[in-house]
Amino acid sequence: MLSTMQDVPLTVARILEHGATVHGASTVATWNGERAVHRSFAEVGARAAQLAHALRDELGVTGDQRVATLMWNNTEHQEAYLAIPSMGAILHTLNLRLPAPQLAFVINHAADHVIIANGSVLPLLVPLLPQLNPTLRHIVVSGEGDRSLLAGFTGGVHDYEELIAGRPTSFPFRHDLDERSAASLCYTSGTTGDPKGVLYSHRSVYLHSMQVISAESFGFTGRTKALPVVPMFHVNAWGIPYAAFMVGTSLLMPDRFLQPKPLATMITAERPTFSGAVPTIWSGLLDELDHGTGYDTSSLTQVVIGGSACPPALMQAFRDRHQIEVIHAWGMTETSPLGSVAHPPAGLTPEGEWPYRLTQGRFPASVQARVIGPDGSAMPHDGVAEGELEVRGPWIAAAYYNGAGNEPDAGGDKFSADGWLRTGDIGTLSADGYLTLTDRAKDVIKSGGEWISSVALENELMAHPDVLEAAVVGVPDEKWGERPLATVVLRPGAEADMAALRDFLGERVARWQLPERWAVTESVPKTSVGKFDKKVIRATYAAGGLDVTELGKQ
Ligand code: AMP
């Protein structure tokens, strides 16, 4: 028997309408290098309507055509986030840190009709133009930048402000869409092979936003002021832009000012209560807060770190030296991205809470998780048995986008026979649902039949006061098959040498796990979304490009 309840589609248009009216006084502010420029949700809603008119009436965007953004986190990007899905088109967020061939690939694969680009990133786009499909008809430029760079483009070139100016401030947004239809498209960073597109639905965006605002996730309310440092081109900035419009959370957008100094300055000036970013951003900020003067971060009550394992030393330093409690979270492009969030259970002392904070956290009711052992069977949730994490739920991908008009790409071995997403992450689940990841399946080091967690070694090394960053990879070894290689970035003025670091590590991990190959490097190579790029470290080592010192070879 069917229920007697109303069947109202869950749409981005509803989020836009609600935020722009009920929470019309909340604000989106963009940092311009010196100060924040504010616009109310009501204004953002009106400008989103003007943008939708411009896209439909002037640029001819119809149906579910793709409109791409090549933008930093800023107010105009927020307007695009709301306008494009709400008019029934598909928002395709382009990762401006992708290598040029991959960027051209995703624009062509998605068959983007329009690209809205920040003027400051035009130099990235211009060299790609000869490789782009004729499907791309218009480029809209927002903010400062040299428009003449686009002189060779045969389609239309428009200025964002001129394009939307004077148009009606309301639009017949689509509240009637099938909630399962596509709202936005985000490609995974593509560590191997071509990037793969994840096509979020209106329903998945809506339900995910409700999860983001929940107190067991990011706990957004109308009193929250969020600083999304995580880019809007990476998994919808963890869903923050949509969640904010649902409850009136004001947004502080950092634009291109993502370096530690401007971040510390904007936090001091604008006093956000929430922020989220990958660990590399936070470790840069920590250094600035430790050594700079005049900063005040006391407004930050919730700081989420995710996207890579958060080194415990980083969490401890924020807590002890800056009174900021870090929340660790796990997710991926395919999971929208939430994901598990490490809020500790009730009734514990701060010391008792600590081990829970170090885990990747618990999943919400909507997302089921299991770990699958090497023999393909589900492992017990006992906090000990390791396996590959698999998840399923209403905002988890079931397939990849395969280009317009085609059947979805089944993703090869990325999905199990019974439809769960295989994450490629290795870890354990406890009886009370806490996930602890030990490694990526492809990064775990297999030494003489035993597994060594590269993440565990990195975490210990990064707890040394002289170490800024440390990345550990498996490299071929004649005797053991594979052994760990430690690459370390030292802090300026550091006194420790590699032998001292090995001794330090020797006091903390089993002897057989101790790396015997060591290299001090200037920096750790990063992927387009700021994670350690271990593929590059392995390749550099294989090509003889690392100055390796051997210590205590087994
Ligand atoms: P992406 O799709 O680029 O966001 O990458 C997703 C991957 O990032 C996951 O499959 C994990 O390997 C990694 N990741 C994300 N969050 C965490 C975390 N808290 N701890 C460890 N790894 C993480």
Contact predicate 329/361, CB 8 Å: yes
Note the pLDDT tens digit of each residue in 151-164: 999 999 999 999 99
pLDDT value at residue 355: 97
* Total count of domains within the chain: 1
- What is the DSSP secondary structure assignment for residue 284, as one 8-state letter? H
How far, in Å, is the centroid of ligand 1 from the Cα of 207?
Answer: 21
Q: Which of 489, 486, 422 is nearest to 452 (CA)?
A: 486
Domain that holds residue 457: 443-550
- What is the DSSP secondary structure assignment for residue 318, as one 8-state letter? H
Angle in degrees, 0-180, between the axes of helices 279-291 and 312-322, rounded to the nearest 10: 30
CATH, residue 469: 3.30.300.30
Please give the share of the chain, as a percent, with pLDDT higher than 70: 99
How far, in Å, is the centroid of ligand 1 from the Cα of 205?
Answer: 19
pLDDT value at residue 490: 93
> What atom in ligand 1 is closest to the CA of residue 328?
19
Determine the Cα–Cα distance for residues 345 and 362; give it in Å rounded to an integer: 10
For ligand 1, atom 23: residue with the closest CA: 308
Cα dist. 12→18, 93, 176, 224, 294 in Å?
Answer: 10, 16, 11, 21, 41
Catalytic residue at 293? no
pLDDT value at residue 554: 58
For ligand 1, atom 15: residue with the closest CA: 307
Contact predicate 422/388, CB 8 Å: yes
Note the pLDDT tens digit of each residue in 522-540: 999 998 888 899 989 999 9
How far, in Å, is the centroid of ligand 1 from the Cα of 553?
Answer: 32
Would the CB of 487 count as within 6 Å of ligand 1?
no
Would the CB of 332 count as within 6 Å of ligand 1?
yes
Residue 308 lies in a domain: no
Residue 544 lies in a domain: yes
Residue 329 pLDDT greater than 60, yes or no: yes
Residue 519 lies in a domain: yes
Higher per-residue pLDDT: 442 or 287: 287
Note the pLDDT tens digit of each residue in 414-437: 999 999 999 999 999 999 999 999
Would the CB of 189 count as within 6 Å of ligand 1?
yes
Confidence of residue 444 (pLDDT cuts 50, 70, 90): confident
Among residues 30, 69, 93, 188, the one annotated as catalytic is 188
Note the pLDDT tens digit of each residue in 371-414: 999 889 999 999 999 999 999 999 999 999 988 666 778 777 89
Q: Where are the beta strands (DSSP E) in 298-404?
A: 302-306, 326-331, 338-341, 361-362, 368-372, 387-392
pLDDT value at residue 413: 85
Note the pLDDT tens digit of each residue in 331-382: 999 999 999 999 999 999 999 999 999 999 999 999 999 999 988 999 999 9
Would the CB of 13 count as within 6 Å of ligand 1?
no
Residue 322 lies in a domain: no
Lowest mean pLDDT among 47-56, 73-82, 322-331, 449-458: 449-458
For ligand 1, atom 5: residue with the closest CA: 332
Would the CB of 529 count as within 6 Å of ligand 1?
yes
Would the CB of 359 count as within 6 Å of ligand 1?
no
Cα dist. 138→52, 61, 134, 156 in Å?
Answer: 14, 10, 10, 5
Among residues 21, 162, 446, 512, the one annotated as catalytic is 446
For ligand 1, atom 19: residue with the closest CA: 330
Residue 190 pLDDT greater than 60, yes or no: no
Q: What is the mean pLDDT of residues 173-177?
A: 95
How far, in Å, is the centroid of ligand 1 from the Cα of 377?
Answer: 23
For ligand 1, atom 9: residue with the closest CA: 332
Q: What is the pTM of this model?
A: 0.91
> What atom in ligand 1 is closest to the CA of residue 423?
10
Please give the share of the chain, as a percent, with pLDDT higher than 90: 87
Residue 538 lies in a domain: yes
pLDDT value at residue 407: 75
Mean pLDDT, the chain, integer: 94
Among residues 179, 334, 386, 458, the one annotated as catalytic is 334
For ligand 1, atom 7: residue with the closest CA: 332
Residue 542 lies in a domain: yes
Q: Which of 126, 15, 119 is nearest to 74 (CA)?
A: 119
Confidence of residue 271 (pLDDT cuts 50, 70, 90): very high
Confidence of residue 241 (pLDDT cuts 50, 70, 90): very high
Catalytic residue at 451? yes
Residue 529 lies in a domain: yes
pLDDT value at residue 406: 65
- What is the DSSP secondary structure assignment for residue 119, as one 8-state letter? G
pLDDT value at residue 266: 98
Q: What is the mean pLDDT of residues 10-39?
A: 98
Would the CB of 423 count as within 6 Å of ligand 1?
yes
> What atom in ligand 1 is closest to the CA of residue 305?
19
Confidence of residue 483 (pLDDT cuts 50, 70, 90): very high
Residue 242 pLDDT greater than 80, yes or no: yes
- What is the DSSP secondary structure assignment for residue 412, as one 8-state letter? G
Q: Which of 473, 378, 388 is nearest to 437 (CA)?
A: 388
> What atom in ligand 1 is closest to the CA of residue 334?
2
pLDDT value at residue 191: 55
Note the pLDDT tens digit of each residue in 90-127: 999 999 988 899 999 999 999 999 999 999 999 999 99
How far, in Å, is the centroid of ligand 1 from the Cα of 439?
Answer: 10
Would the CB of 330 count as within 6 Å of ligand 1?
yes
